[in-house]
Structure 1
Amino acid sequence: MPAPVPIIDIHCHTAGIGAGASGCFVSRAMRRNVRFHFFLKAFGVTERELIELGDTLVLERLSQGLAESHRVSAAVVLAMDGVVDRQGRLDKAATEIYIPNEFLARECRRLGNLLFGASVNPYRPDALERLDRITAYGAVLLKWLPAIQGIDPADRRLAPFYRRLRELELPLLSHTGNEESFTRSDNSLADPLRLRRALDEGVTVIAAHCASNGRNDGQSNLERLLPLFTTYPNLYADLSSLTQANRLGHLPRVLQHVEIYERLLYGSDMPIINSFVTSPWWHAYRLPLAETRRIVAIRNPWDRDVELKRALGVTEEMLGNSGKLLAEKGKLKAALMVKNRITREEIVS
C-alpha cells in the first residue's frame, strides 16, 4: 500500500498584537470581543506571552504543531492587509486585524514548514509594486477577505491588478460566503459571482470555504459557486472550516459534486481546528461511535482535522491537491529558493 501523500494546508491563520515590533495590530473593538481570547486560546498562546515573547510566538507554535503532525507537512500562513481610505492609505480606524507582509514573509522564511501567503489591498496606489515585492519575498498565493477589507472583486478598476496576478502566476485565495469572525462585515462582497472578473482575466482563483454559508439574491452562495466550475477551469475551492459546528452538513453537500473533486483543496482554517467548534463529536450522527472516539483521541489538530475530513468523505487525492496546484504554479520551488537565500547579514544577526 503506497504511503499517504504529504499534505499542504493552504489556509492557515496567524495573529499578532504588535509585540516584538511585528507591525501587527488588532483593533480595540476586536480585542474587547470574546472572539479575540477564543482565537488566542486556539493558537495555544496568551496575551501575556505575546507581550513578553513577541508575535513570532504564534508562528513558532504553528511550526511546532506541524512538525509533530504525521499527515500535514507544511501550511500556507496568511497575512492580512487592512482597509484603505480614499487616498489608498491604510485606514487603521476601519481595520480590525492587520498582519503585514514583511513580518510574515521574514518569519516564514525562518521557519521551514511555513509558507508565505501574502495580502495586498488592490486599492492601494502602489498595489502592483506590492505584488512584485511579495513575489520576491516568496509568496505562494494572495489572500483576500473582501467583506472585511472593503474589496469588491467585481470592480472593473481591478483589471490591471488581476492581469499582474496572472502574469506572476499567483493564485488568489478569496473568502466566499458569510464572514462571522469579526465585529462587522459586508457579506455582499463575498458573493462568489463577484469573482468572475478575476476568473475572466485568467487568474487562478481559490474560493475559500467553498462558499459554504450565506445567501445572495435569494440563492445560497454554494449554489452560486457551483456553476462557475464548469465555465472556469481556473477556479478551485478549499475545504477549510467545513467541519465547524455552525456548518454541519456542508462538507457532505459539497462532496456530492464528484465533478469538482480535482478542484477541491485541503485547508484547515487553523486555529479553528484546535477548538471545540470543530470537535468530531458534532459529527457523531454521521460516523460510527468507535470512529468518532478514535478521531477525538488524536492530539495533533492537523492530524485530527485530516482524519475527520477523511471519515466524512474527503479522499487522499483531494488532500494532495493543494500541494499539486502550488507545485504546478512553481510556487513551492520558488518559496524554497527564498528560504535558502541567506545573506551574510542574516547569518551575523
Structure 2
Amino acid sequence: MIDYKDEVIQNDLKLITSQNYISWDKLKGKTVLVTGASGMLATYMIYTLAYLNDNFAYNIKIIGTVRNIEKASLKFSSLISNEYFDLIRHDVTKEFTYDGKIDYIVHAASNASPKFIINDPVGIINANTIGTLNLLNFAKDHPIENLLFLSTREVYGKAISDYIDENSYGGFDILESRACYPESKRMAETLLKSFNDQFGVPFTITRIAHSYGPGMQLKDDGRIMSDLLLNVVNSEDIILKSDGTAERAFCYIADAVSALFLVLLDGENANAYNVANEDEPIQIRELAKKLTEIFAERNISVVFDIPKQMGLGYSKMGRTRLNTEKIELLGWRKKVSLEQGLVNTIKAIEE
C-alpha cells in the first residue's frame, strides 16, 4: 500500500507541483471533490493537493469519495487526521449531496481492468453514465468552476489515421464484451456536453492512454503493465500470453497527473485533451526484456505461454497512437523516461 510520505511519492509530488505552466494559484482556498479516490490517478491527485497544502499553505479542502472506505483509509492514513481532508463513503451511482461549496470536481470513479470488464460490465456502465449524470445534476444546482472527466483513448475506436487527434473518431463493435467501457465513456462525454449546452455546466475531458506508476493495482488486474510488474515484484519469470509484438506507449503517473491538473485548471471549457507519452513506444516483448535487464539481480527470464484465444475483456482495437499537440500547446511536457518510471514504480511498491 503506497503512502503519501513515501520517498518516491514525495519526489513525484515535488516534480508535479514544480510545473509552472499549471495555474496552481487557482486552487488556493478552493474545495475539490475527487470521485473514485482510491484509484491510481485519483490518489495521486489527492496527494498533490495535500502537498500543496502542506508545503505552500494553499488551504485546499479535499473531499474524496470511495465505496470501500476501510481499504481507502489505509491508503490515505497519512492524511486522515488533517482537517483539510474528508474521505466519504459514497457510490457514484447514488445521488451526491454536500452542504458546503465545491469549486472543482474530478470524476475518476471507473474501472478499466479486464477482470471487472468480464465480471462487472454493468457496474462499469453505471459508474460512467449514472455516476456522471449524478455529478452533473449536482453541478447544475451548485455552480462549480470546472468538472474534469477522466476518459480513455478507447473512445476513438478503430484508428482512422496514424496519429489520433481529439476529433478522429472511428467505429467499434458495440456487441464486443469490452464495449461496456468505451461506449459508457462516450456516453459520459455526451452527457457532459449536453449539460454544458443546456445548463452551462463547465467541463473538460482527458483521454488517457496507458498510465502507470505507484498505486497501480497489480494483482488480478489483467492489464499488461500490471502483469509484468507483478512478476518483477515477486521475482518470478515474466509470463507473456502473446508473441509480444504488440506495441504500447506508457505514460508515468507524475506526467499524467501534471496533465490532469493542467486540463482541470487551464483547459478550454467543453474540450477534450489526449494524455499519452508517445516518446518511447515499445513492443511488449521488449518491455519484458527491459524489465529483466533493469532488475537483473532478480535472475528472471521472459517465458511465452500463448493461449489459443484472447480473453473477452481485452481490447482488440490494436495500437492507437495519440496526438498530444493540443495539450502541449497548453504547456504540458513529459519529464519521466520509461526506465525511470519503471524503477520508481517497483521501488514505491516494495517500500
Both structures adopt the same fold (TM-score exceeding 0.5) = no
Given the two structures, how large is their TM-score scaled by the length of structure 2?
Answer: 0.31
More helix by share: 1
TM-score between the two structures when normalised by the length of structure 1: 0.31
Q: Which one scores higher on RCO, CA 8 angstroms, separation ≥ 6?
A: 2
